[in-house]
Amino acid sequence: MKRISFFILIFAFFIGYTQEKEQESQSKQINIVYGANFTKDEAQFPGASIFSKDDERQVQFEHQGADLWCDIAIFYSQENRLKAIGNVRLQQGDSIEMNSGYMSYNGDSKLAKAWKTVDLTDGQMTLTTDTLYFNREKQESFYNSGGKVVDSVNVLTSKIGTYFTELKKVQFKNKVHIDNPEYIIDSEQLDYYRVSKNAYMYGPSTITGEDYKIYCERGFYDTRIEQGYGIKNTKINYDNKIIIGDSLYFDKASEFASATNNIRITDTINNGVIKAHYAEVFKAKDSVFATKRAVSISLVELDSLYMHGDTLMVTGKPEARILRAFRNAKFYKTDLSGKCDSIHFNQSSGLTQMITDPILWNVDNQITGDSIHLISDMKTEKMDSLKVLENAFIISLDTISKTGYNQAKGKDLFGKFEENELKIIDLVKNTEVIYYMYNDDQELIGINKTICSKIRLLMANNDIEDITFFINPDGDIFPDKDLPKESRKLKGFIWRGDERILTKEDIFDEDDNNIELVRIRGIDNPIDIDAQEEERRKNENDPVNKTATSKAIKPKKTAVKKAQSR
Task: Please name the helix (run of DSSP H) or strand (run of DSSP E) that holds residue 289, with its range, or none.
Answer: strand 287-291
Residue 230, strand partner residues: 219, 248
Report the Cα 480 to chain-centroid distance in Å.
64
**Sign for the pseudo-dihedral over CA of 222, 224, 225, 226:** positive
DSSP 215-265: EEEEEEEETTTTEEEEEESEEEEETTEEEEESEEEEETTTTEEEEEEEEEE
Confidence (pTM): 0.80
Using CA atoms, how far apart are residues 522 and 529, in angstroms rounded to an integer? 10
Q: What residues contact 71, with CB distance under 8 A and at least 6 apart?
A: 52, 53, 58, 59, 85, 86, 87
Look at phi and psi of residue 328 and say left if phi exceeds 0, alpha if psi is from -120 to 50, else beta.
left
pLDDT in tens, the chain (566 residues): 545 554 455 554 555 444 444 444 456 899 999 999 999 999 999 999 999 999 999 999 999 999 999 999 999 999 999 999 999 999 998 889 999 999 999 999 999 999 999 999 988 899 999 999 999 999 999 999 999 999 988 999 999 999 999 889 999 999 999 999 999 999 999 999 988 999 999 999 999 998 899 999 999 999 999 999 999 999 999 878 899 999 999 999 999 999 999 999 998 887 789 999 999 999 888 899 999 999 999 876 677 889 999 999 999 887 788 999 999 999 998 888 999 999 999 988 889 999 999 999 988 899 999 999 999 887 877 888 999 999 999 999 988 888 899 999 999 999 998 887 889 999 999 999 999 998 888 889 999 999 999 999 898 877 788 888 888 888 889 998 889 988 999 999 999 999 999 999 999 998 889 988 888 776 655 577 888 888 777 776 654 444 433 333 333 343 333 333 33
* Amino acid in the structure at residue 383: M
Residues in the chain: 566
φ, ψ of residue 55 to 5 degrees: the values are -75, -15
Q: Are strands 421-438 and 405-418 parallel, antiparallel or unpaired?
A: antiparallel
